[in-house]
Amino acid sequence: MPLVSATATGPAAPAEEQNKNGPTSDSPPGNGNGRWALVLMGGGARALAHIGVLEALLDNDLVPPIITGTSMGAIIGGLFAAGYLPPELEKLGRQLSYSRLASLRKSRIPIPDKLVDYLMLESYQKRLLRRIGIKKGDLLEERLREMVGDVLIEELPLRFGCNAVDLVSGQEVNFTTGLLHQALRASMAFPFVIEPARFSGRLLVDGGLLNNCPVRLARAMGASRVFVPDVHRPLKKMPIAHFDSAFIMVHRLVQVVLADSTESKLPEADLIININPNVDTFDFTRIRRVVNLGKKITLENIEAIKELARGPAG
């Protein structure tokens, strides 16, 4: 069984064995030949389809004994493992996301049309606050801590793991123990949108940059079968005329890297269902539609998922 490329040694580090006394979902239906895992990829607003996936699974008495995720998939999977149900996750999705841009667009406040221009404005405002002596902590980490407290990953009723990328070492870092809120904060740090997480001498960003589909992590945690809802959108050609700034070029490079880190890992799964919501990464204006699509496609494939959860006939 392949191992992950690197492991964390800071406040959230991998465990050899954990959660052996978890919920009854640790025993899959049927003959119980091994455990199955749900792997939730990143994708911003598209990844909110994972909420619908979880809703459909619960409606069919299927609780994944192992969940791994990255970026928005890590947020959804981690909060679910901590006890948040799909309706609560959908409500939180309207708050704990890039929805500030969406809410501004609904208001009468004029904002730049291009996301990169908006982000540059945000960056300028932060520098201005620092100049005038107003210090702001890591608001995202504080918000996550408010939501889950100081619960440790190894204390969750379901086995959970997520990943990030350490810019200092250039390696993938996997979290299977330690403070849940810190692990989620690290995994969701989308380049140029959310500042990197800083702790234990690391500078951590979105795990999707190296591995947007952490199947191997799920297997390393004990999964013999892996189910992946695919919410990524294949990269399309971008007209050369659109490359009118260095910022756009860098943003495009991130898209290329994310596409490769998804498509190169997907074949490692045992079951893949293609959801592919037709929304942009930062379009949080159609959350209900995306969640409903995730549930619909999952229900259409529920028999295959049940078969995977039962395992091979012995």
Kindly report the backbone phi and psi dihedral angles of residue 304, in degrees, each rounded to the nearest multiple of 5, phi listed first.
Answer: -65, -35
Given the residues 206, 230, 261, 283, the one annotated as active site? 206
Kindly report the backbone phi and psi dihedral angles of residue 293, in degrees, each rounded to the nearest multiple of 5, phi listed first.
Answer: -65, -45
Catalytic, 244? Answer no
Burial of residue 134 (CB within 10 Å: 0-12, 13-18, 19+) is exposed
Which of the 8 DSSP states describes residue 2? P
Cβ atoms within 10 Å of 28's Cβ, excluding its own? 22
Catalytic, 206? Answer yes
For residues 57 and 254, the answer to whether their CB atoms sit within 8 Å is no
Q: Quickly list H helices, the chain.
A: 49-59, 72-81, 86-93, 99-106, 115-131, 139-148, 180-187, 215-220, 246-263, 287-300, 302-310
For residues 268 and 216, the answer to whether their CB atoms sit within 8 Å is yes
**3-state SS class at 23:** coil
For residues 190 and 206, the answer to whether their CB atoms sit within 8 Å is yes
String of DSSP letters for 200-230: TTEEEEEGGGT-SS-HHHHHHTTEEEEEEEE
Residues forming the active site: 71, 206
